DNA sequence: GTCTATAGAAAGATAGAC
DNA sequence: GTCTATCTTTCTATAGAC
């Protein structure tokens, strides 16, 4: 398996994506240059174009990967039957997953406006799929008389905003443990739906 | 009141700020050039520098104005005594105010990372002042035995995130009226604090 | 697969005429 | 107060050597 000197295709690709996620999250897509990403990886700017046709595609691929991973991870969770249990699972899953991917989450919320229209629409569709997962739980709960919600669509948006907000303030070294944070958010969510 | 041809200081300043708010909200600070702002106002790029020393200061001034207006507007609201009433007033005020200033709100949340450290700290302090207004209400409510919240700081962040999220989906032409949206959010908030 | 070098466009900011 | 013109830097993306 001899390989030419300086040939690192299997590791450079992932490293470019990791560096781009971190830098885009920290400074914003428009504020980060291809040179900065290359420098973080340890290659020259031109080498990036072996892995992405352009900067816009790099952003889009990162956002799509984030959303697809999120959907896959939720679908892989064991699914309990009762709406109240499913709502609890969703809350805890959402908090855990997003705290584990702060940079990817940040980009997926902040950089939508930097996507070209076609790419914007594709990411929007993935996001709506995820929101639909929560709304289905809420609708089932209302149908079974467990939740009291006059508008499940509004409540879906309200709850996702509340839960995702954990990323703006939570620090691993802070006062509250993850488990405690999960528990308190879940208590608020449970009460907010009238359960 | 004769005035030299092409002299419009009283109106150009505000128009620059309005155009900058709109463009920064739409495309992001880093993605908007001074030339674009100038074009939106109908002047040449160089003329902008009569009104701001540089682009960073323009962003900072917009964000500071947004936060100071927000704080002033809340302080100008009549203050009822009971924590439950004050919480309702805060919720309705927050939703109304932010729906009236979608662009300014967007910038104040999204462009923090584009502020230089000193400016970042100043905007952060204003934001913490606003959060403290809500947390005081929650603490008073807990102290009087009206609310059940194990951590008022966490709940403050959770509620503000939930309420501000209205900006991401609400459309004036949509299914729900502002009054209806206010009411449903308030119902969820009321129940979430255990009142 | 990565490098150096660079083409070509666009950015922030300033100088001086009017 | 605004414009034209421009300085200087930086950007994305590509070409060709190794």
Residue length, chain B?
195
Residue contact B192–A194, C-beta within 8 A: no
Nearest to B87 by CA among B147, B14, B23: B147
Nucleotides of strand C under 7 angstroms from a protein beta carbon: 1-6, 10-16
Q: What is the pLDDT of residues A127-138, one digit of tens each?
A: 999 999 999 999
User: How high is the pLDDT of residue B148?
Assistant: 98
* Distance of residue A166 Cα from the nearest chain B Cα, in angstroms: 7
Two structure tokens written together for B171: 């459309």
HSE-CB at A188 with a 13 A cutoff on CA atoms is: 28
Residue contact B162–A164, C-beta within 8 A: no
Residue contact A157–B151, C-beta within 8 A: no
What is the rounded CA–CA span in Å between residue A110 and residue B143?
A: 38
> Which pLDDT band, with edges at 50, 70 and 90, does A3 fall under?
very low
> Which pLDDT band, with edges at 50, 70 and 90, does A7 fall under?
low
Q: Which residues of chain B have pLDDT under 70?
A: 1-7
Q: Can you tell me which residue has the tokens 């905003």?
A: A161
> Which pLDDT band, with edges at 50, 70 and 90, does A71 fall under?
very high
Percent of chain A whose predicted confidence (pLDDT) is above 90: 95
Which DSSP letter does residue B116 get?
Answer: -
* Interface of chain A toward chain B, CB-CB under 8 angstroms: 26-31, 110, 113-114, 150-151, 154-155, 157-162, 164-166, 168-169, 176, 181, 184-185, 187-189, 191-194
Burial zone of A15 (CB within 10 Å; 0-12 exposed, 13-18 middle, 19+ buried): middle
Q: What is the pLDDT of residues B9-34, one digit of tens each?
A: 789 999 999 999 999 999 999 999 99
For A161, the closest of B110, B165, B193 (CB atoms) is B165
The helix/strand count (H/E) of chain A reads as: 9, 0
- Residue A100 has a CB neighbour count (10 Å cut-off) of 11
Closest residue of chain A to B147, computed from CA coordinates: A188
Q: Report the nucleotide nearest the CA of residue A9, measured to C1'.
A: C1
Identify all chain A residues contacting B142, using CB atoms and an 8 Å cutoff.
none
Structural domains of chain B, with CATH: 1-52 (1.10.10.60), 54-192 (1.10.357.10)
């Amino acid at each position: 398996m001899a390989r030419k000197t300086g040939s690192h295709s299997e590791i450079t690709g992932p490293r470019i994506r990791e560096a781009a996620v971190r830098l885009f999250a920290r400074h914003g897509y428009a504020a980060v240059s291809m040179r900065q990403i290359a420098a973080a990886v340890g290659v020259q700017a031109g080498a990036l174009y072996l892995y992405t046709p352009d900067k816009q595609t790099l952003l889009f691929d990162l956002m799509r990967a984030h959303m697809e991973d999120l959907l896959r991870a939720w679908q892989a969770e064991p699914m309990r039957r009762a709406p109240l249990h499913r709502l609890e699972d969703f809350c805890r899953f959402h908090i855990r997953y997003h705290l584990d991917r702060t940079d990817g989450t940040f980009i997926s919320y902040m950089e939508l406006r930097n996507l070209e229209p076609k790419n914007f629409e594709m990411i929007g569709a993935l996001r709506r799929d995820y929101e639909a997962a929560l709304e289905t739980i809420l609708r089932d709960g209302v149908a079974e008389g467990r939740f009291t919600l006059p508008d499940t669509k509004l409540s879906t948006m309200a709850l996702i905003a509340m839960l995702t907000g954990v990323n703006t303030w939570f620090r691993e070294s802070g006062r509250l443990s993850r488990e405690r944070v999960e528990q308190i958010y879940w208590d608020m969510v449970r009460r907010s739906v009238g359960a």
